[in-house]
Structure 1
């Protein structure tokens, strides 16, 4: 099943922040945010064992386990098996070192083998309190976590996770699978394979107003040719396009801050919100099926929905293109 057929609406809910990313989030704040998302019609939820060592899945499960299973679409990821014992000391997470330092202390097995894939799905179902996942992403087999060893992890996933997920899809246990990564190279490699193909991919932070040139070169044309859909993760570039200070999960460097300033000048001139510009840009590519921004406050849900539907004048997109702030190859809304 194609992602476009499977995913309801163009806006989902990304749960990475619910794993206590960057800060410890009170339970009442989490519950209020999830209830707001449900009450305002969000029916696509994306999570992962990695987010707070299972914390995000547990929190999401508090909501979804109480809802009719056919009333929402649920995606989680494989690549980390959450263990019962605690992990002493700081985690080795490549470039994402302190990302979930406020999450659960449980140790994680980082493995993309067939056995670990089965165990990962079993653990996710238990934490979420549901009987099935709709979409399963193969998580983080890229340079940002593994450096020069990333191709070894990719091969582990190719012979393990990819084959398990292809079988589960063929058996009807899941409806779709793909990669969930922060880099384009693993997806490009996967689309070139002469074996069962993924239905789509979750690309985080790589198709945004601030960073989109690389996937336009090869990945997105190939995905379009093969009918493979993209879910846009991190459409606000870790928050810097939504009033925050993070880019790529770290403090935004001066050149990014300057680029955001120039974008804000244009949005102010045209009376447009930065969130609307960012979200609508990410969804303008024909391969893009949906976006899954994260949120930890109920008010953010209403902001995201408003941004999706905001009337952005064609002149804004024309000026954005003329300013050199977007790639000449990037499709813009309304054919601008």
Structure 2
């Protein structure tokens, strides 16, 4: 098990913003961002049907469809089908994520974690992505932030539907690996405890970050490392608040989060460190973390991410974070 042997580096491209997350991104800007990522050497791209009701996959496919398929790694997600019917994107029930993709395509989004739905989702994604194969497939959002108290029902639907299909595809060599794509720790922990399911990795968004890592650090990350199940770090900037933005977990950051970022920023300035670099490198420092996939919506952001992952950070900075109780005392840091 594990996916890191297939990954071409420790920095990938998260394409949720290409689905017009938060704003209507001009087509030329979106395509230029993907092209820049390619030109800068990024070769792992992650997407999902949910991102703008297929818009992210379509835009990604427009660029990657002209690239040599053997030179990049591609992942998408299952659990939602994109219908030809239309609806008002602003009225979609997105749980805690509100109107996240209200600027996306108007196509109706239908939840479906069944075996048939999984096959259909993959077939549809291949067409939108303009490709003949996928490398990794993640089961999307079987977690509390979308399902609330009913999340275990959604998990059970995926356990009996999507899980065995993806495991069979992996065993047949059709895909290289599978797992979950979620914003909560508990579904991945539950999957790691199943006897019949053997995921190769999972995308964990926003839960092993500079601002929020205690729960994942306690059990999930050590168990994943022990079992050889690699964690893809999604949302390393927690929706942008540690990269100069104002959002935390898809909403306006609370005063407590803003204050925490200010405290981290003050220490970063004292040590000549950018907060973006600190956030990205912290998430990657754990042995279970295989790759980070920050989202990019503008060509300049790609260069910033590459600079952040390579920026030298003195050990004294991490010591200061620990002394000020801004990171867990037992959290791995890059210099150790």
TM-score band by shorter chain is over 0.9
1:205-224 pair list within 5 angstroms: 205-224=206-225
1:15 and 2:7 equivalent? no
Is 1:63 matched up with 2:66? no
Contact 2:47–2:56 at 8 Å: present in 1 too?
yes
Superimposed CA distance per residue, residues 3-58 of structure 1 (whole angstroms, 9 cap, x where no aligned partner): 11011100000000000000000011111111110000000000000000000000
Who is 1:310 aligned against?
A: 311
Alignment of structure 1 residues 296-335 onto 2, 5 Å? 296-335=297-336
Q: Which moved more, 1:220-229 or 1:37-46?
A: 220-229
Q: Verify: 1:38 aligned to 2:42, yes or no.
A: no
Aligned equivalents of 1:93, 1:196: Cα separation in 2: 27
How many residues are matched?
A: 335
Matched, 1:119 2:120: yes
CA distance in 1, matches of 2:182, 2:329: 25
Deviation (angstroms), 1:308:
0.6
- The Cα of 1:218 is off from its aligned counterpart by 1.1
1:82 lines up with 2:69 in the alignment: no
Is the CA contact (8 Å cut-off) linking 2:12 and 2:291 kept in structure 1? yes
- The residue aligned with 1:288 is 289
The residue number in structure 1 matching 2:72 is 72
Tell me, in whole angstroms, the C-alpha distance in 1 between the residues paired with 2:129 and 2:91: 26
Task: Map Cα deviations across residues 152-189 of structure 1 (whole Å, 9 max, x no partner).
Answer: 00000000000000000011110000000000000011
TM-score normalised per structure 1: 0.99
Partner of 1:253: 254
Aligned mates of 2:68, 2:335 — CA distance in 1: 36
CA drift at 1:196: 2.9
Post-superposition shift, 1:96?
1.3
Give the Cα separation in 2 of the matches to 1:196 and 1:179. 11
**Aligned position for 1:28:** 28
Q: C-alpha displacement at 1:92, in angstroms?
A: 1.1
Contact kept? 2:79, 2:111, Cα under 8 Å: yes
Q: Identify which range, 87-96 or 277-286, moves more after superposition.
A: 87-96
Residue 95 (structure 2) aligns with: 94
SS in 2 for 1:41: coil
State the distance in 2 between where 1:46 and 1:284 align.
21
**How many Å apart are 1:85 and its aligned residue?**
1.1
Match for residue 264 of structure 2?
Answer: 263
- What are the equivalent positions in structure 2 for 1:150-169 lying under 5 Å apart? 150-169=151-170
Shift of 1:243: 0.3
Q: 1:141 — aligned with what?
A: 142
Contact 2:191–2:197, Cα closer than 8 Å, also in 1: no
RMSD of the alignment, in Å? 0.8
Between the aligned partners of 1:28 and 1:106, the Cα distance in structure 2 is 22
Gaps of 5+ in 2: none
Which aligned runs of 4 or more in structure 1 are off by greater than 4 angstroms?
none
Q: Distance in 2 between matches of 1:196 and 1:231?
A: 18
1:237 aligns with 2:238: yes
Q: 1:329: Cα distance to partner?
A: 2.1
The alpha carbon displacement at 1:306 in A equals 0.5
- Aligned residue number for residue 173 of structure 2: 172
Contact 2:3 2:176 in 1 (8 A): no
* Further displaced range: 206-215 or 217-226: 217-226
Aligned residue number for residue 52 of structure 1? 52
C-alpha distance in structure 2 between counterparts of 1:111 and 1:292, whole Å? 25
